[in-house]
Chains A and B, each alone.
Chain A
Amino acid sequence: MNFTHDIIIVGAGLAGLRAAVECVGQADVAVVSKVLPTRSHSGAAQGGITAALGNEEEDRWEWHHFDTVKGSDYLGDQDAIEIMVRDAPRVIYELEHMGVPFSRTPEGKIGQRNFGGHTRDYGQRPVKRACYAADRTGRVVLDTLYDQCLRHDVKFYPEHYVLSFSFDRERCTGVVAYDLATGELLSLQAKAVLLATGGCGKIYRTTSNGFASTGDGMSLAYRSGIPLEDMEFIQFHPTGLYPLGILVSEAARGEGGLLRNRFGERFMERYAPTVKDLAARDVVSRAILTEIREKRGIDGKDYVHLDLIHLGKEKIEERLWEITSFVRIYLGIDPVYEPIPVQPTCHYIMGGIPTDVDGRVLKDEKGSVAPGLYAAGECACVSVHGANRLGCNSLLDLLVFGRRSGLAMKNDVLRYGHGSISAEPLKRMESRIKDLLVPKGKEKVDSLRQKMQSMMMESGSVFRNEEGLKKGIEEIRTLKERYQEVGVSNQKKAFNYELMEVIELEHELDLSEAILLSALHRRESRGAHWREDFPHRADRYYLKHSLVLLTVKGPEVRYKPVKITKFQPEARVY
């Protein structure tokens, strides 16, 4: 079946829906998502969205700019960051006008709270910058944007899994999608395709990410010859619920929660004397794992405590209702009376598909545009997060660059007609699925995936070194070979999740290799990328973005410069 739209948006999280809201009415837009709307992982974001509104205390976008640059360990592009932080207050007011139910100050303004790495006076002390709705900010924004999509009759293709792009010469002219409900393939033709497919946290064993976070969009771009930028930078959130890895929002520390080791010591005082528990995430995650390595984990095990008890029942239940409920359900303990066991958990991919500040995908280090292709949100790399993202800057990124992509697309599509239709991409996918459905059965998707997830924890998580990375790359390549023998034993058409997971695994293996290879080549420590064998930042050699490109000889690592406007790199201490 063939359908034609002006704009196809792949992914129904915040970036995708924000872009859809921008285009609807002015262009024929459709959203394709492998899950039902409102099930996307943006909904799991808890803490808030940053903007220098100054509702609770004085704040300025210049401070937000500096904090984000410093948080990125000077790898974020400062021009793009400036666009983002200056646009932030408008973004928040716009959401409020759409109906987002933000928590409020006593004067009725939008409530703001502290978050890691956000400070006043260029690093002097923490500032309340994160606009929040209790600890369910992502969910209520997702609901509000979905409601806006309903209001404006945005067309959805729910539970449709995008398998490939169509190209007319260089120009992306649409996608081929697999209808999970029927097992049928669809060819969706468009003048512009936006990838808003989120991250790939599921390649790690311990992660806060949902099952759908398998990096499909990143991988599809990578296979089409688009490089991936800064893939070595993987954020481990300091406080994942032990042992499941479910996110315990940084808002817990923003509201005054404290990290403690087995001696009850508030150990962050040693690692970040100025802002302590509110340091950037890479710093706190390394601190927790250092405590654990030096046998100061609780009972000698691999977790520490997040202590909220002194906040009191009322504040905990009002501001942190969701995480309180998680702790009660999954651990059977009550954070009002007992500390929460936490460990770092894979949370966010700083790198991704390189784009300009309007979402246009860039296909090389010179910045040439890949026509017809756009990306926004976690799957993209603008780059505003550099080597480490600050908390609550991701929702801001999704909304600012989701909207800008929408604006760019609706203008760009006016200039183009539809490309020529070819049945080729659909036929190719038909035969791919036919091949997969032959039950070879020698290898099982789950066992390969588990091996990959363990391998990525071992060699590509918080602490890295050359030996481990080389071993990891070798193992991933072995898994890729074994993947050739993977079979789908479920031959059914309706809701064949096994088939989808087999395709997802291929994406995940490609991305694992890209991450480890980029990490191997960066022989320095910066932000979330910590090399035990190169424990210092080396601006002279590595103040540059990596680009990993899939060539006929396999993946190849290249570099492009960082845009520095106002802030020269300095030592990064919190």
Chain B
Amino acid sequence: MLLKLKIFRFEPEKDEKPYYQTYEVEADPMDRLLDCLNRIRWEQDPTLSFRMSCGHGVCGSDGMRINGICGLACQKLVRSFNEEVLIEPLPVFKVVKDLVVDLSPFFQKYHSIKPYLITKTPPSDTERKQSPEEHERFEEAIRCILCACCTASCPVNQNRETENYVGPAVLVRAFRYLFDSRDEASEERMGLLDHKDGAWGCQTLWKCTEVCPKEIPVTRAIGQIKKRIYEAKHEG
């Protein structure tokens, strides 16, 4: 089938403002949208820039806004579109070129919540024990591939006044460590999250959960962080 791709173009040093360019690609219904983008780049316009790596939804490189909804281009098949698809960079982040955005603020916020296991008890010679039930608590959260689709979709992050909010992806990773039975820094972690730009920045708008390419119940995870902080403060 013939697919039209209307793509956001912008080169900050050269273009006064962004514009849209439409390309036509002959595609198989089972092709990935990423295949179409590559065909444009290889056959029609090598100046089009976008990130990609694994091509099957594991590395998290090709997040973009597709017909208004953030997702991975490698996870969308041509057959799910009608004649024309609108492709734009992830919102929230600064555009570096075309569909490539500057993710450094995303990774800085990620760094800020101490995304690593903190323990005080020295480990034994073998593994620390963790029951399947304890593992199960954060099993869904470890699917996160840091593609930033959730953060880009979050109306709180999109709002200039609240853009310092760490955002859902970072909170998913915070959840993953806070609810890991092996971690021994829950107080410190809750301290890092207990403010208006931390867990309380979330206004429970569900956009993150709707777009997550790995089907992580993001809003629920953030809700559990809030509940944990609330209970810790009101205990005794």
Mark A residues whose CB is within 8 Å of B. 35-41, 43-44, 92-93, 96-99, 101-110, 133-134, 136, 139-140, 143-144, 147-148, 150-151, 181, 210-212, 244, 246, 321-322, 325-326, 329-332, 444-446, 488-490, 492, 494-498
Contacts and interface: CB of A to CB of B under 8 A. Distances in A.
B77 A330 contact: yes
Contacts of B214: 325
A108 B131 contact: yes
B37 to A, nearest CB: 11
A489 B46 contact: yes
Given A43-B58, A106-B132, A494-B13, A445 B42 contact: yes
B84 interface: no
A139 B145 contact: yes
B143 interface: yes
User: Nearest 10 CB-CB pairs, A to B?
Assistant: A99-B117, A108-B129, A446-B42, A495-B49, A498-B46, A490-B46, A210-B54, A147-B116, A39-B59, A96-B127
Interface string B7-49: 0000101000000000000000010100000000111001101
A298 to B, nearest CB: 17
B234 interface: no
A489 B44 CA distance: 11
Interface residues of B, number: 60
Nearest to A138: B58
Nearest to A38: B146
Nearest to A140: B142
Contacts of B11: 492, 494
Nearest to B181: A108
Given A44-B56, A97-B128, A147-B116, 17 more contacts: A36-B51, A36-B103, A93-B123, A98-B116, A105-B132, A110-B127, A136-B58, A136-B143, A139-B145, A144-B116, A148-B116, A211-B54, A244-B56, A325-B214, A329-B77, A445-B42, A489-B46
A212 B116 contact: no
Contacts of B77: 329-330, 332
Interface in B101-155: 103, 107, 110-111, 114-117, 119, 123, 125-132, 134-135, 138-139, 142-143, 145-146
Nearest to A212: B53
A108 B130 contact: yes
A40 to B, nearest CB: 8
Interface in B74-101: 75, 77, 96-98, 100
Contact of B61 (A36, A139, A495): A36
B57 interface: yes
25 contacts: A35-B53, A36-B61, A38-B59, A43-B145, A44-B59, A93-B123, A97-B127, A99-B183, A102-B135, A103-B132, A108-B130, A108-B132, A109-B129, A136-B143, A143-B146, A150-B111, A150-B115, A210-B53, A246-B56, A321-B143, A329-B57, A489-B46, A492-B47, A494-B11, A495-B100
A99 B182 contact: yes
